[in-house]
Structure 1
Amino acid sequence: MSDIQTLLQRAKDSLAGTTPGPWDVAEEIDGMRAGRRTVVKATIETSNPYTRTRRVVTVDQTRPHWDEGDRTPELGSAEANVAFIAEARTLIPELVEALEYVIADRNRYHAMWRAVLSDFQALRGF
């Protein structure tokens, strides 16, 4: 596989077994992060109305794992991390689809180019 094909496969593999998307950022309802947007949740269409929204991950709920982003901005913030995690669940499939389209398009152009080159070489032989 080429590097881009390896990258595509890694992206596809990373989606295996994940909660279906899209994922959204939500506010924590309790604990030290109550009111902060540090939760990633998924809304899933199911037959059971009690499992429609599912918490996927909570970042920094029980205690901070580093200095707060306000004091150490280069470490980022829990809110930015959660937003990135939520976006990745939708972004990766979109990137995979776009890259697969580009690869297929490239392969079509390569096949056309090889046909044109073959025709040119055949004509040149006359």
Structure 2
Amino acid sequence: MELKVRFPVDDGELSGLHARAFGGDPGDVRPWAARLSRHALSWVGAFDDGRLVGFVQVCWDGGPHAILLDTAVDPGFQHRGIGTALVQAAAEEARAAGCEWLHVDFEPHLEHFYLDQCGFRSTPAGLIAL
């Protein structure tokens, strides 16, 4: 497995990974490359024999706060440490950019992954559905 930072994104390939990881429509191709170039501080892909099997992006406020988004690992490659490696690489990207905080939101079933494996701590947060 190889990690690549700010790799050239193929919208269909990344949309397919997200569909497999989150149970979405594989035919729904999103404009990932344009969004990432416009809004992301960085992104990291995990590749197995040239195939994208994991992804995470880091957005930021232009200052001390970075936000981890879209962490995804192909279901056939989960539980091999790929997600943890992606998050660690994303955290290093944020640190290198001068960020002081890395935030992440997650569903309860991912608490073990983010808190125990990746080293995040639990904090209160708020959310408004728009």
Greater helix share, structure number: 1
Is the TM-score greater than 0.5? no
TM-score, with structure 1 as normaliser: 0.26
TM-score, with structure 2 as normaliser: 0.25
Q: Decide which structure has the larger Cα Rg and report it.
A: 1
